[in-house]
């Protein structure tokens, strides 16, 4: 072997050791760099020269510098990043919602209890102006509490929309950066070597994108990637970069929907199409959790207002006037889809506030029939004629004709709590009494009496005097305007009779000639019968089968359960992500102890190569001296 060959072997060894030292130093320098994958030098024999004495090696060659990387482990990290980000985002927002509802400063339940207590005082002292005024102030408190929670929910909705906008802008910037990085990687890969640091940046960027919108990457041989959403929608393919945006929903212009635009084609993305990521978590919270709270609050508000207003209207205030409404609240309204072809218009009105559902509705015309879908559970009702009453709402086609595919949104529970106001102007306007009362004949010999008396409607003949006369043979007759003056009616103790908007339950045994009269109440200001009816509302199942406070407790319980479940999911997905990252780190992570050991190994190799070069130089010098 020639001295030149020895110099070549030494030079190759020195160069290999130097590259190993440089790569190890690069690893150590990037030990804390997010997404960095440990690199190592791949060596290969430089071959050998054939001689008569055999093949003599020519040293070592540096084949490439590769990164320690497992595509499947990296894909697992990307997927779990999306799940963890979505779960954490939703859990965080739910915790805020739960804290707001549990805040005693906005305690709707306590306000309703105070209102009930004020009615109890009025029952005992209907003539007391101060007791009446307390009721009016308690009504204002209920309005303030419900209004405060409603405003808080609206603020949270606005905040979520702003966060969505930020996340969308971030994702668009990341996608454009990834497209630029793809170009750099493609150019660098043209050399035949892998641009390791660019590939690390690529993978880290894909992971970041998955933190906002769940995405899966398809890898090409040149190191570039295409990116697809969980639904399969292309986010990045070749040079085509999708653009994410928020635009008003055709069904509800007040609600923003996510739209992915690729090559000029808009694809609306529903929550279930996103899988995970911050955007998915925000949309799930907004469209499921926040809507559920708004709907339940709206259901409670409408039931409270409708039932109290109805009972108030059946009584008479201190001036003898029909009771005015106690509460004002937003009525349901119908909006048409922006893509409708027909000119149909619908209306909606509450006809029974005790069975309202915590939901909005959608009316759809399929070309032959109308379908009304309750959006909270997708229950559908086929309507053959209008008007139609569903869940206490009367829907009606007021004008025009629908075309196949036309849709209409009935904003019901989402509206009720908005514009919740106090309509009771003063305590004097509180209707504590009834317009009519009962009296028994002064000469009655039997023990017949009125057990229960109630006003059920403001009939035009409500205050018309009515006389009930018993014949002693088990029969009675009724006389008075609006009754029809029937005779020979069979009497049974415990029976209820109703005329002119009032009803009474009778008990006892009458004697011949006994009478009971219904006459106008002499002084409604001292009458407490309607006040008693208002008091009794608190314990009745008037909110779709629940009392007022039970309905509010159901709202708190529902959000509490959702919050706990979301926090559990967030903790689990965070642990799964940590495990995935740990598994990836086992392969790709930099271990300083290992790098330090390699540093010593490569240092020794470098020193040995340098010694080999020095030996070759010494041998060369000896040959040169001998030639002289």
At 79-126, the pLDDT tens digits run 999 999 999 999 999 999 999 988 766 689 999 999 999 999 999 999
Contact by Cβ (8 Å): 608, 20: no
pLDDT at position 193: 83
pLDDT at position 345: 95
CA–CA separation, 4 and 566 (whole Å)? 71
Please give the C-alpha separations between residue 58 and each of 4, 47, 606, 612, in angstroms, as whole numbers: 10, 6, 17, 13
The predicted-structure confidence for 436-480, as pLDDT tens digits, reads as follows 999 999 999 999 999 999 999 999 999 999 999 999 889 999 999
pLDDT at position 104: 66
pLDDT at position 105: 64
Q: Mean pLDDT throughout 128-157?
A: 94
Report CA 601 to chain centroid distance, whole Å: 58
Beta-bridge partner residues of 328: 421
pLDDT at position 1: 46
pLDDT at position 129: 94
pLDDT at position 106: 60
The predicted-structure confidence for 236-275, as pLDDT tens digits, reads as follows 998 789 999 999 989 888 889 999 998 888 888 888 888 8
The predicted-structure confidence for 501-523, as pLDDT tens digits, reads as follows 999 999 999 999 999 999 999 99
Q: Mean pLDDT throughout 352-362?
A: 95
pLDDT at 300 over 80: yes
Q: Mean pLDDT throughout 429-434?
A: 96
Q: Which of these ranges, 183-187, 437-441, 620-624, has the smallest mean pLDDT?
A: 620-624
Contact by Cβ (8 Å): 301, 420: yes
CA–CA separation, 240 and 338 (whole Å)? 30
The residues, ordered by sequence, that sit 6+ positions from 92 with a Cβ below 8 Å of its Cβ are none
CA–CA separation, 1 and 602 (whole Å)? 26
| Residue 111: strand, helix, or coil | helix
Report CA 359 to chain centroid distance, whole Å: 14
pLDDT at position 270: 84
- pTM higher than the cut 0.75: yes
- 3-state helix/strand/coil string of 342-355: CCCEEEEEECCCCC
Contact by Cβ (8 Å): 298, 551: no
Residue environment code for 355-392, b if the CB has 16+ CB neighbours within 10 A, otherwise e: bbbbbbbbbbbeeeebebbbbbeeeeeebeeebbebbb
Domain boundaries, the chain: 3-68+589-627, 74-289+546-580, 436-520
pLDDT at 609 over 70: yes
| Residue 62: strand, helix, or coil | strand
Q: Specify the pairing of strand 243-248 against strand 256-262.
A: antiparallel
CA–CA separation, 621 and 108 (whole Å)? 99
Please give the C-alpha separations between residue 9 and each of 50, 601, 605, in angstroms, as whole numbers: 15, 19, 13
pLDDT at 624 over 80: no
pLDDT at 556 over 70: yes
pLDDT at position 590: 87
Q: Mean pLDDT throughout 419-423?
A: 93
For residue 2, name the pLDDT band (cuts at 50, 70, 90).
low
Q: Mean pLDDT throughout 143-171?
A: 94
- 3-state helix/strand/coil string of 194-253: CCHHHHHHHHHHHHHHHHHCCEEEEECCCCCEEEEECCCCEEEECCEECEEEEEECCCCC
């Amino acid at each position: 072997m020639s001295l030149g060959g020895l110099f070549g072997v030494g030079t190759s060894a020195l160069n290999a050791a130097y590259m190993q030292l440089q790569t190890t130093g690069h690893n150590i320098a990037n030990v804390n760099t997010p997404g960095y994958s440990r690199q190592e030098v791949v060596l290969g024999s430089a071959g050998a020269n054939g001689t008569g004495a055999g093949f003599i090696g020519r040293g070592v060659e540096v084949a490439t510098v590769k990164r320690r990387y497992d595509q499947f482990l990296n894909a697992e990290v990307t997927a779990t990043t999306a799940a963890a980000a979505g779960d954490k985002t939703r859990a965080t927002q739910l915790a805020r919602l739960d804290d707001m509802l549990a805040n005693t400063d906005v305690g709707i339940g306590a306000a309703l209890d105070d209102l009930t207590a004020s009615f109890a005082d009025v029952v005992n002292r209907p003539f007391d102006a101060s007791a009446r005024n307390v009721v009016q102030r308690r009504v204002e408190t209920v309005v303030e509490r419900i209004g405060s929670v409603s405003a808080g929910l609206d603020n949270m909705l606005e905040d979520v929309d702003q966060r969505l906008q930020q996340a969308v802008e971030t994702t668009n910037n990341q996608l454009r950066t990834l497209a630029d990085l793809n170009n750099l990687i493609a150019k660098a890969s043209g050399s035949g070597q892998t641009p390791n640091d660019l590939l690390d940046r690529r993978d880290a960027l894909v992971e970041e994108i998955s933190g906002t919108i769940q995405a899966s990457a398809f890898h090409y041989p040149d190191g570039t990637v295409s990116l697809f959403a969980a639904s399969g929608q292309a986010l990045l393919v070749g040079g085509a970069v999708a653009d994410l945006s928020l635009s008003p929903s055709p069904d509800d212009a007040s609600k923003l929907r996510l739209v992915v635009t690729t090559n000029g084609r808009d694809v609306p993305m529903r929550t279930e199409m996103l899988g995970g990521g911050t955007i998915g978590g925000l949309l799930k919270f907004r469209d499921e959790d926040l809507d559920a709270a708004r709907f339940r609050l709206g259901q409670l508000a409408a039931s409270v207002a409708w039932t109290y207003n109805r009972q108030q209207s059946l009584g008479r205030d201190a001036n003898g006037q029909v009771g005015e409404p106690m509460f004002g609240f937003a009525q349901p309204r119908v909006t048409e889809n922006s893509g409708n072809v027909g000119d149909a218009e619908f209306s909606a009105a509450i006809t029974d506030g005790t069975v309202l559902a915590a939901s909005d509705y959608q009316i759809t015309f399929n070309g032959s029939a109308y379908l009304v879908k309750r959006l909270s559970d997708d229950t559908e009702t086929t309507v053959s004629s209008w008007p139609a009453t569903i869940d206490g709402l009367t829907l009606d086609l007021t004008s025009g004709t629908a075309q196949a595919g036309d849709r209409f949104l009935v904003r019901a529970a989402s509206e009720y709590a908005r514009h919740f106001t106090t309509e009771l102007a003063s305590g004097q306007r509180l209707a504590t009494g009834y317009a009519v009362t009962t009296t028994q004949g002064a000469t009655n010999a039997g023990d017949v009496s009125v057990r229960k008396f109630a006003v059920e409607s403001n009939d035009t003949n409500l205050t018309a005097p009515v006389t009930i006369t018993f014949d002693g043979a088990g029969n009675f007759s009724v006389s008075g305007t609006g009754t029809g003056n029937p005779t020979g009616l069979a009497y049974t103790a415990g029976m209820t009779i109703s005329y002119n908007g009032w009803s009474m339950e009778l008990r006892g045994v009458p004697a011949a000639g006994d009478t009971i009269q219904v006459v106008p109440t002499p002084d409604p200001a001292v009458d407490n019968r309607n006040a008693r009816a208002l008091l009794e509302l608190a314990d009745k199942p008037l909110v779709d089968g629940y009392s007022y406070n039970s309905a509010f407790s159901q709202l708190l319980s529902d959000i509490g359960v959702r919050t706990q479940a979301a926090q559990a999911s967030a903790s689990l997905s965070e642990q799964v992500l940590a495990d995935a990252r740990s598994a990836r780190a086992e392969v790709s992570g930099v271990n300083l102890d290992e790098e330090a050991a390699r540093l010593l190994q490569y240092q020794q190799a470098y020193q040995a190569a340098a010694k080999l070069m020095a030996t070759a130089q010494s041998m060369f010098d000896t040959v040169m001296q001998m030639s002289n």
